[in-house]
Structure formats: structure tokens, C-alpha cells
């Protein structure tokens, strides 16, 4: 397939914000894509070249793109940089300069989807001497062979900044329309495979029924919705319900196939090497030739045994050296709460009470190593409230509350699980802008524009935050640290204000949600406070939605009416 056909679709998608129109455009396009190319096409539609769970990274910076555009267009690096500073988008820069390039095209052949994706994938494999030059040459080859419009989207894809408004829901619905499967069938397959590209290919081949859980391949985990109190949880889930301590750790899915153990985070990152003790616990204390279990790895003080907040072990997620030493200094206790697969049998369609019974049968509880989560099954609101108070007294975040006959539904806020915390639910948002400070903070970005997302993945501002960021490194995340993270992401500067690429996900607390015409979301967080970086846990696509903000707004209105 010619890449130009895909580019025409990108351009059409950019012209509409309407979900149904986007879905119709995508569905019509996917119907025409050959079976053997649809997987790669779907990756490119998402701005990817690998499955979401793949460990390979493109790793091509804006500075390298600047050089590649210079090589391809014949323009000097200085002129490319000046135009970049003016336009704030290297995709647009590529379009303008390739439109009037001073050197001849190296080939008159049309670019194909295969050529584009093959060149970009090679960027992740190059190593050794001369790597930078070879990477620039691969991208420059694509740009030189492209039309101005193609160049824009090649540059954005390489930089992982495509953003043409294709949210997961739109992609799901369009694949369903294009292949004749139901939306539910497409979604269920995508939750298990965590790969819409493969789902589209199997759907085209009429082989979706072959999709099964396979130990060793990460899947989406089940998610929960917030409730304001125990009474509301019973209303949501019925009686009795299962209550568990809500812990502040790293969510892990542990996969075993024979004697091979793999660990994946909620973001489906492979962290097996970073947590060698967890691998040993799973081998030693969980019976079964094969299984997939869901758990929370919680840090604890090796001297006192007291649980520590997530920040205490977050540094382990990216550690690549001195791992054994760090494991002794910052150990974790694995708290297991669900099982999705066991000895060749898929468990996701079994009720929670059956899954939990199996889990308790195969797992040996060893405190400070691995254990099942503390739980209470009750229909008594007083007993549930006491369990909640007990969890808070032990330093936990609150409670997870589960419907006892709920099936395990990966990747969905289906209402089978709820979470209860003592304050309004913190929000995960992304920084989309910032402002330089004054006085001693004149050189640092010290006020940050934050955004949630709508159902189509569009980012909507919900306020500014600066409170909670620290001056000194020993106190937590500093203004200097955030400035270092954000400066390379700046795309536009207006006086002291800057616009940044949406990459840095943060968790914020706040006093309440207010309606506000100031921000695109229509809401503003009152007195927002920075709590922590979420870089190791969440991608931009995982941030809270406008629906979450609206739900919290309604919950707090109910609280005010009751006081």
C-alpha cells in the first residue's frame, strides 16, 4: 500500500472532531487495507511501529530530526532550527522545507507503508559506532523520498507525536465496522492481546475466536471506579461485597510458563530484572506449571517491616544496575489479589469468589515476601466501615471493594471493582504548558498547565499547579527537576509562557472541582497540589478523563448537600 493513501486519511481525520465521522472514515479505509498489511497500518494509525507492550523504542530525538530534515531538504541546520522555533512543530517544518527542497529526490518511487515502518523500526535496533549517522540516514531517506504532506507525518511518527485524534474507542469501533465483528468482541480481544494491530489482522482473517490468554504476554488489567463511602459501594456492587486493603505500591502481573517467570507493570513494561526477589517468590511459593496473577508489590522498611509509599520503590522500576543491592535496601512484599490464568485454563470468566478460592489454594503466605491481600466479605456496613478505618490506621490508601461474582474484565471501568479513599480522588493529568517564575525562580518553569483527556483522547486543560513542588531535592520533586524534564519538550514560547509536548504525567490533589469557562474542559481544580510524578506508571493515554472529572464534581455536590 502506498503511504500516501494513509496520509490522505490522516488529513481527513485532522479536519473533523466528530467521533462518528472519524469512525466512519477509519472503517471505510480499513475495509480496503489488505490482510497482510492491516497490522502495520493500524500501528501507524496509532502513531506506533511496535505493539504497545514491545520493549523496543524508536529513540529518535527532536535534535536528530532537525538534522535529518536538513539532510533531506538541503537546508542548513540553522535555518531548520529557526523555522522550528517559529512553527513549534518539526512535522510542519519538514512539510515546508521538503516542499521547496534544493536537492533532487533520490527515488521517483512512491513510498510504501512497509518501507516507512521498516525504516523506523530499524532505528530501535542500531548500536555501536556510527549509530547516530545511520539513524539520521534512515529518516532522511524517507523524507527525501516523500511528498511534503508525507514528510509531515513521517516526522511526527518518528518523534511519536502523531496525534490525529484516534482514541482507542474510535479504533475499536472502526475495526468492528470494517470486519463485521461486534464492538464487544473487538474490545475483549484487544484487552487480552493489548495490540489493536494484531486484533485487526485476526479480525480480517476471521480468527478472533483463536484469541486466548498466553502466559508471557502482558494483558490489560482490570480497573476500578471511585466511590465516596461504604454505602455507595454496596449500591454499586450489591451485598455481600469483598473488601480488601488498598495498597500504595507497583501493580504487577506475574506470568509463569513452566519455570520461566516474567513481571509486567500496569503499563505492560517488562520489569523482571528489576525485581529478582519477586521472581523467586513466585517460583517458590505459588504452585502451578503456568499462571498469570495480579498483585501489588509494596515497599517496606527492612528494619521495621512497615509499608512505605510508592515513591520509596519507584526508582527500582528503571534501575539497570546494582539491582541486587537495591533490592536489599528497598525490598517489596507481593500482595496478590487475583488470578487470570492457571495451568492451561483461562480464569477471567470465572466469578471473583472462585478465582480467590483458587488463589488461596495455590499460594503460600509468607509475610514480607508474598501473600494474599487482607480481605473481608460482608454485607454489614458497620463491619465494612471498621475494616476501612483499620486499613487507614495501618497507613494504607483505603479499600478496594469488589463484587463477589464479578468476572475479570481487563482494561475496563466496568463497575465490578470500586475504590474508596478518604479524600477526593487524586487525578493523573499531563502537563501541556508552563510559565517561568520570577526572582529566584526566573530560570525555572514553576507553574504548570495541566490537562485531562476526553473520550477521543483530546487534551483539555483543567487548571494550573505549582504548590507541592519542592525547592530542595531531599524534600521531593523540585522545580529544577521538572524544568529539566520539560525544557526539551517546549514547542512554543510566548514571553514567560511555554507550550510543551504532552509527555509528563503527574498526580495532583485538590480541594474541589469547580465549573470554569477559563479552561477547555469546562472545569477547574481548586487549589491543586502536585503529589508525584507518574512517569514510571502511566502514559498520556492513561490519564484521567473528563468523565472522571465530571463524576467527581457530582460526588462532591452530593457531599455538600449532605452537610
Beta bridge partners of 428: 507
Beta bridge partners of 464: 449
Q: Look-up: residue for cell 532550527?
A: 81
Cβ-defined contacts of 323-327 (< 8 Å, 24+): 323/273, 323/274, 323/276, 324/276, 327/275, 327/276, 327/277
Q: In Å, how far are 77, 195, 204, 212, 239 from 181, measured between CA atoms? A: 50, 16, 10, 17, 35
Q: Are strands 417-420 and 225-227 parallel, antiparallel or unpaired?
A: parallel
Rounded Cα distance, 156 and 166, in Å: 15
Q: Could you tell me which residues come within 8 angstroms of residue 46 by beta carbon, excluding any fewer than 6 positions away?
A: 162, 166, 171, 196, 197
**Is 539 considered catalytic here?**
no
Of 135, 204, 246, 538, the active-site residue reads 246
DSSP reduced 3-state for 173: helix
DSSP state of 310: T
Please state at what angle helix 196-204 crosses helix 168-179, rounded to 10 degrees.
Answer: 10
DSSP-derived secondary structure for 465-487? E-TT-BSSGGGSSBHHHHHHHHG
Q: Could you tell me which residues come within 8 angstroms of residue 14 by beta carbon, excluding any fewer than 6 positions away?
A: 164, 165
194: left (phi over 0), alpha (psi -120 to 50) or beta: left
Rounded Cα distance, 86 and 493, in Å: 9
**What positions carry a catalytic annotation?**
246
Amino acid at each position: 500500500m502506498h503511504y500516501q493513501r494513509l496520509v490522505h486519511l490522516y488529513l481527513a481525520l485532522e479536519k473533523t472532531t466528530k467521533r462518528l465521522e472519524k469512525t466512519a472514515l477509519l472503517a471505510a479505509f480499513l475495509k480496503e487495507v489488505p490482510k497482510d498489511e492491516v497490522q502495520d497500518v493500524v500501528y501507524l494509525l496509532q502513531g506506533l511501529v511496535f505493539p504497545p507492550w514491545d520493549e523496543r523504542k524508536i529513540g529518535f530525538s527532536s535534535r536528530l530530526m532537525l538534522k535529518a530534515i536538513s539532510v533531506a531538504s538541503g537546508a542548513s541546520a540553522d535555518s531548520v532550527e529557526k523555522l522550528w522555533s517559529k512553527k513549534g512543530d518539526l512535522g510542519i517544518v519538514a512539510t515546508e522545507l521538503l516542499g521547496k527542497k534544493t536537492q533532487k529526490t533520490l527515488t521517483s518511487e512512491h513510498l510504501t507503508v512497509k518501507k516507512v515502518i521498516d525504516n523506523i523500526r530499524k532505528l530501535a535496533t542500531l548500536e555501536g559506532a556510527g549509530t547516530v549517522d545511520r539513524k539520521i540516514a534512515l529518516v532522511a531517506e524517507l523524507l527525501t523520498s516523500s511528498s511534503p504532506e508525507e514528510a509531515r507525518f513521517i516526522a511526527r511518527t518518528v518523534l511519536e507525536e502523531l496525534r490525529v485524534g484516534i482514541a482507542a474507542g474510535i479504533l475499536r469501533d472502526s475495526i468492528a465496522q470494517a470486519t463485521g465483528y461486534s464492538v464487544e468482541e473487538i474490545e475483549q480481544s484487544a484487552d487480552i492481546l493489548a495490540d489493536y494491530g494484531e486484533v485487526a489482522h485476526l479480525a480480517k482473517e476471521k480468527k478472533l475466536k483463536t484469541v486466548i490468554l498466553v502466559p508471557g504476554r502482558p494483558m490489560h488489567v482490570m480497573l476500578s471506579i471511585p466511590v465516596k463511602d461504604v454505602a455507595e459501594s454496596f449500591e454499586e456492587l450489591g451485598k455481600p461485597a469483598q473488601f480488601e486493603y488498598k495498597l500504595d505500591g507497583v501493580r504487577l502481573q506475574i506470568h509463569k510458563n513452566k519455570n520461566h517467570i516474567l513481571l509486567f507493570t500496569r503499563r505492560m513494561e517488562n520489569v523482571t530484572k528489576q525485581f529478582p526477589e519477586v521472581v523467586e517468590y513466585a517460583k517458590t511459593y505459588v504452585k502451578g506449571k503456568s499462571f498469570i496473577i495480579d498483585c501489588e508489590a509494596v515497599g517496606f522498611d527492612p528494619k521495621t517491616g512497615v509499608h512505605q509509599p510508592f515513591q520509596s520503590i519507584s526508582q527500582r522500576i528503571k534501575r539497570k544496575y546494582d539491582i541486587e543491592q537495591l533490592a536489599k535496601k528497598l525490598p517489596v512484599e507481593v500482595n496478590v489479589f487475583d488470578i487470570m490464568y492457571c495451568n492451561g485454563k483461562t480464569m477471567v470468566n470465572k466469578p471473583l469468589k472462585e478465582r480467590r478460592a483458587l488463589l488461596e489454594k495455590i499460594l503460600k503466605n509468607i509475610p514480607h515476601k508474598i501473600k494474599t491481600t487482607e480481605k473481608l466479605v460482608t454485607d454489614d456496613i458497620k463491619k465494612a466501615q471498621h475494616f476501612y478505618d483499620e486499613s487507614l490506621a495501618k497507613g494504607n490508601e483505603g479499600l478496594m471493594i469488589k463484587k463477589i461474582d464479578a468476572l475479570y474484565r481487563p482494561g475496563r471501568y466496568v463497575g465490578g471493582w470500586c475504590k474508596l479513599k478518604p479524600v477526593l480522588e487524586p487525578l493523573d493529568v499531563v502537563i501541556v504548558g508552563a510559565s517561568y517564575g520570577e526572582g529566584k525562580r526566573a530560570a525555572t518553569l514553576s507553574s504548570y498547565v495541566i490537562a485531562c483527556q476526553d473520550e477521543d483522547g483530546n487534551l483539555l486543560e483543567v487548571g494550573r499547579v505549582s504548590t507541592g513542588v519542592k525547592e530542595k531535592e531531599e524534600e521531593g520533586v523540585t522545580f529544577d527537576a521538572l524544568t529539566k524534564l520539560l525544557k526539551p519538550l517546549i514547542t512554543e514560547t510566548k514571553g514567560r509562557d511555554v507550550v510543551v509536548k504532552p509527555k509528563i504525567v503527574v498526580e495532583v490533589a485538590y480541594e474541589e472541582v469547580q465549573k470554569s469557562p477559563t479552561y477547555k474542559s469546562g472545569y477547574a481544580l481548586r487549589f491543586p497540589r502536585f503529589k508525584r510524578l507518574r512517569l514510571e506508571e502511566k502514559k498520556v493515554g492513561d490519564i484521567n478523563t473528563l468523565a472522571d472529572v465530571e463524576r467527581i464534581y457530582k460526588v462532591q455536590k452530593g457531599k455538600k448537600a449532605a452537610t
